[in-house]
A = this chain, B = another copy of it.
């Protein structure tokens, strides 16, 4: 069986089955943004890992090494944010192509260090080896939450509202601009978003402090794909209101210029690293704090959670239909 036939999520399932075992420490295992381990009565450990592979996740023709260092750590911190955790420290495994020189590595480290300091996540260890192929960068971050307070993907309930932070489409726009090497000045915001995403640790903590957030995930594969994860893992359906989803103005301009439909920029733009989360509707009604948050960190309600029998639907221009999923899968899609 070829890998492309079962895809990335198929492989994750397969691994989960292969390594299944009992453990008293594991609160949450494979299948969320990060795993949760209990080691002490007061606090839980949150552990996550994400790899960036040359020719799959990045292309050094348009990715500055400093940005690569930043991004490799930032995407892991985003996973910690999606669990409601606080980072404690990171380890960095890097395989370096033979033809690199020390100054290349210095630039990569410099981006890593800048991100580590910005989010107070010290680099505490690593492994630097030679690569016979391209560059491979894998980071693991250990974080913590107060015991039992992590936010899983699986807690959404009918009656919750579905919310996102920020706007969609910027990352995909930035990626396409970099590929075409055009107009870089007019799309600065999108390029920056793609090259050096911001992990929303503070936003996540603010949300959790003020609301009973029932589920959360970061948008790394695309909005549609993440909505599907929350619904499947929570055993619920949902109804999305397309018009309510904020879209990046640069994405709108770019789609118009290229005469492309906007919808893929909304639903299939991976690497946005915004947060998608659910909150019971009751907790929001007449809630002053939410109104303030809506303004201060630009949070929007984009739909509601329904019973599972209703499936995952979207309402657009008055019409309601099933939402189509087309997230990023490295095994079933070629790198373009």
Contacts and interface: CB of A to CB of B under 8 A. Distances in A.
A95 interface: yes
Copies held by the complex: 2
Interface in A46-87: 47-51, 53-57
Contacts of A50: 93, 127
A182 B88 CA distance: 49
A56 B95 CA distance: 10
Contacts of A53: 95, 129-132, 136
A25 to B, nearest CB: 5
Contacts of A15: 92, 105, 109, 123, 126, 128
A101 B3 CA distance: 6
Nearest to A12: B128
Given A19-B113, A112-B19, A133-B133, A47 B142 contact: yes
Interface string A120-140: 101111111111111010101
Contact of A134 (B51, B92, B132): B132
A289 interface: no
A87 B131 CA distance: 28
Interface residues of A, number: 83
Nearest to A9: B128
A23 B101 contact: no
A273 B49 CA distance: 25
Specify which of A30, A117, A123 lies most central, judged by the most chain B CB atoms within 10 Å of its CB. A123
Interface in A258-291: none
Interface string A239-250: 000000000000
A216 to B, nearest CB: 16
A8 interface: yes
Contacts of A35: 89, 91, 124-125
A78 to B, nearest CB: 13
A151 to B, nearest CB: 16
Given A129-B330, A330-B129, A6 B40 contact: no
Interface of A: 1-3, 5-6, 8, 11-12, 14-15, 18-21, 23, 25-26, 28-30, 32, 34-35, 37, 39-43, 45, 47-51, 53-57, 88-89, 91-96, 98, 100-103, 105-106, 109-110, 112-113, 116-117, 120, 122-134, 136, 138, 140, 142, 144, 330-331, 335
16 contacts: A14-B102, A15-B105, A15-B109, A18-B106, A18-B110, A19-B113, A20-B113, A23-B122, A35-B124, A49-B138, A50-B93, A51-B127, A51-B136, A53-B136, A132-B335, A133-B134
